[in-house]
Structures are given as C-alpha cells and as structure tokens.
C-alpha cells in the first residue's frame, strides 16, 4: 500500500511538472506574439503588458470575479512550483499518506480561501450599494442622464463599489448601452443585488417610468435585506460557535494524546491498517466540516 501510494504521488508530481512546462511554453509563445505586435505597431505604440491573464473554468469565473482576483501565467507557475516542492518534501519526510493528504488538501484550502475572500468582498459591496444608488438618484434629479449618473456617482461611492463598477463606468463613458453594460457586470460577478439593479434598469428602459423612484425603492429593499441578514447572523452565532468547537475537538484530542504519549501515532504512520484508519478519519472530518458549513449557510 505504501509503495502504491508513493507511485501515485510521483505520478501526480510528474503530471504537475508537465503542466508547469506546458504553461511556461504557452507564456513564451504569448510573449513572442506580443513582441511581434509591438514591433509592427512601431515605437510610438503603447507598451504591451508582460502579465497575461488566463481563462478559468466557468464555475470558478464568477467566484474569481467576486474575489476580484486575476489568474496570470506567472501566478500559476509560482503556485505550481511551491505546491510541488511542498508535496515532494512531505513525501520524503512523512511518506505517501501525508503527501497525498497535502496534495488533496492544498486545492481545498485554496478554494476555501477564495470563497471566504469573495464572501467578504461581496458583503462589503452589498452594504455600500444603497448609498451608491442614492447618489445615482440625486445626480439624476439635478439633470444628469442615467449613464452619466451611474458613472459620476462612483466619485463619492465606497472604494469597493468603485472597484466593481469601474469597468462598467468606463464603458458607459465611451457610449455603451446602459442596460447591456449593467447586465454584463451582473452576469460576470453574479451578485443578486447587482442583478436586481441591472433588471431594474433594463425594465425601466424598456417600459418607461421614473428610474429615480425605482432606485429609491431598490435602495430601501437592499437596506432591508442587510438588516435581515444581520439579524440572521446574530441568531445563528451560537450555532456557529458550537460547530467550531465540534470541528476542533477531534484535532485537540489528537494533539493531547500525542503530547501525553508520543508513540501513539506510530501505529497510524507505520502500520498499513493505521494509515487506512487515518485516511478514513480525515475523510470523515472533512465530510463533517462540509455538512456543518452547509447547514449554517444562509441564503435568501
């Protein structure tokens, strides 16, 4: 079993090295194309960026947009080198079981960090959106068009609102249609509150009416959603603390047993049966964490 696990880890490392090599070759090819385009454009052309963003799967793209992160070739290469070095080091020092756990745990940890960053950024955005809508409504009341109000209201808006809406504002300043621009923003970040704004603008431009009144009602709705969300968070705070205690108890118990009896882990590290039990225990712990997080997730 140990040798099989070692071969599996080595296979993953080889695949990672191949992916690293292919990513480097793709980056070199794109850099060569950029240099040729810059040479054809002449010395007066703007410098071409050396950092090239890469596409991500459709299921991850909205999460990346919410977290406001851009994956580049250089980032992928750096993460691949660090990850492969860690896995190889753990494989040499602790064996294939620990290396396999690290190999599976690193992507899960990265995805968890990405979701947490996206959640915090989206919460900050939703808290600042009512004030932004009030600014848009006031600018429209003094004679600005809808596209002008959406772009100019960003000057007094929260920095997090500007970071999400800057691209849309530049498109509006260049004359892009308002409904199409806001719908593209909503489709890219997939935040319900932004989708509500895009739907309100699209409906108003199609059927007419006072967009100022629509924004006023929408701002009130968003404030009510924030109030209800805060009440739900306060109501479930005790359950969240209990869940964290339940998750930490097995880990703390293991640490305590090791401190009292250092030879306790030898069976789980050296014996094949202990290694199997370790994998089962880690798997059950991970499943329990996912179930508890799903039970405490608030969606409305």
Instruction: Please list, residue by residue across 65-83, b when 16 or more beta carbons sit within 10 angstroms of its beta carbon and e when fewer do.
Output: bbbeeeebbeebbeebeeb
At residue 72, φ and ψ (nearest 5 deg) are: -110, 165
Residue 54 inside a domain? The answer is no
Same domain? 169 vs 188: yes
Same domain? 218 vs 258: no
pLDDT range class, residue 143, cuts 50, 70, 90: confident
> Inter-axis angle of helices 178-189 and 192-207, to 10 degrees?
160
pLDDT range class, residue 176, cuts 50, 70, 90: confident
User: Minimum mean pLDDT among 73-87, 99-113, 170-184: which range?
Assistant: 73-87
The predicted pLDDT at position 164 comes to 92
Same domain? 230 vs 246: no
> What does the pLDDT average to over 180-206?
89
Name the residue with higher pLDDT: 81 or 226. 226
Residue 87 inside a domain? The answer is no
Residue 189 belongs to domain spanning: 122-235
Domain end marker among 203, 235, 267: 235
Same domain? 170 vs 227: yes
Residue 130 inside a domain? The answer is yes
Enter the pTM of the model: 0.67
Residue 79 inside a domain? The answer is no
Same domain? 286 vs 212: no
> What does the pLDDT average to over 65-80?
76
Residue 102 inside a domain? The answer is no
197, HSE (Cβ side, Cα atoms, 13 Å): 30
pLDDT at 111 over 60: yes
Same domain? 190 vs 260: no
The predicted pLDDT at position 145 comes to 86
pLDDT at 78 over 50: yes
Domain end marker among 235, 253, 269: 235
d(CA 208, CA 109) in angstroms, rounded, equals 48
d(CA 73, CA 76) in angstroms, rounded, equals 5
Q: Write out pLDDT tens, residues 255-270.
A: 887 788 777 777 777 7
pLDDT range class, residue 1, cuts 50, 70, 90: very low
pLDDT range class, residue 36, cuts 50, 70, 90: low
Domain end marker among 198, 220, 235: 235
Same domain? 252 vs 297: yes
Average pLDDT, the chain: 77
Residue 224 inside a domain? The answer is yes
Residue 283 inside a domain? The answer is yes
CA–CA distances in Å: residue 54 to residues 51, 69, 70, 121, 192: 10, 12, 8, 22, 26
The predicted pLDDT at position 225 comes to 85
Same domain? 161 vs 130: yes
Take residue 104 and report the two structure tokens written for it. 């599976």
pLDDT range class, residue 249, cuts 50, 70, 90: confident
Name the residue with higher pLDDT: 157 or 87. 157
How many domains are contained in the chain?
A: 2
CA–CA distances in Å: residue 281 to residues 102, 260, 268: 15, 21, 11
Same domain? 155 vs 252: no
Residue 296 inside a domain? The answer is yes
User: Minimum mean pLDDT among 21-25, 82-86, 193-197, 228-232: which range?
Assistant: 21-25
The predicted pLDDT at position 48 comes to 43
Same domain? 134 vs 200: yes
Same domain? 132 vs 184: yes
> What is the chain written as a DSSP string?
-HHHHHHHHHHHHHHHHHHHHHHHHHHHHHHHHHHHHHHHH-TTSPPPPS--B----TTTHHHHHHHT---BHHHHHHHHHHHHHHHHHHHHHH-HHHHHHHHHHHHHHHHHHHHHHHHHHHHHHHHHHHHHHHHHHHHHHTT--HHHHHHHGGGGS-HHHHHHHHHHHHHHHTT--HHHHHHHHHHHH--HHHHHHHHHHHHHHHH---HHHHHHHHHHHHHHHHHHHHHHHHHTHHHHHHHHHHHHHHHHHHHHHHHH-GGGGHHHHHSHHHHHHHHHHHHHHHHHHHHHHHHH----
């Amino acid at each position: 079993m140990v040798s099989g696990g070692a071969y599996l880890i080595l296979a993953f490392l080889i695949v990672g090295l191949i992916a690293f090599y292919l990513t480097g070759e793709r980056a070199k090819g794109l850099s060569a194309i950029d240099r040729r385009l810059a040479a054809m454009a002449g010395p007066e052309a703007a410098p071409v960026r050396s950092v090239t963003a890469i596409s991500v799967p459709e299921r991850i793209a909205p999460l990346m947009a919410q977290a406001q992160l851009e994956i580049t070739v250089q980032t992928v290469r750096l993460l691949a080198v660090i990850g492969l070095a860690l896995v190889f080091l753990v494989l040499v020092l602790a064996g294939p079981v620990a290396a396999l756990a690290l190999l599976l745990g690193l992507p899960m940890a990265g995805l968890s960090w990405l979701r947490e960053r996206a959640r915090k950024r989206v919460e900050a955005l939703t808290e600042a959106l009512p004030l932004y809508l009030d600014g848009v409504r006031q600018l429209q009341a003094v004679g600005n068009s809808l596209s002008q109000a959406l772009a100019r209201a960003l000057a007094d808006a929260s920095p997090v609102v500007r970071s999400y809406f800057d691209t849309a504002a530049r498109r509006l300043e260049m004359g892009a249609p308002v409904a199409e621009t806001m719908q593209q923003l909503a489709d890219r970040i997939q935040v319900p509150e932004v989708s509500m704004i895009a739907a309100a603008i699209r409906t108003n431009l199609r059927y007419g009416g006072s967009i100022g009144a629509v924004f006023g009602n929408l701002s009130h709705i968003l404030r009510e959603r924030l109030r209800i969300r805060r009440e739900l968070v306060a109501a479930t705070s005790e359950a969240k603390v209990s869940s964290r205690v339940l998750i930490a108890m097995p880990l703390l118990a293991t640490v305590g047993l090791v401190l009292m009896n250092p030879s306790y882990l030898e069976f789980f590290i050296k014996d094949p049966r202990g290694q199997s039990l370790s994998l089962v225990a880690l798997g059950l712990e991970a499943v329990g964490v996912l179930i508890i997080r799903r039970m405490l997730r608030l969606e409305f």
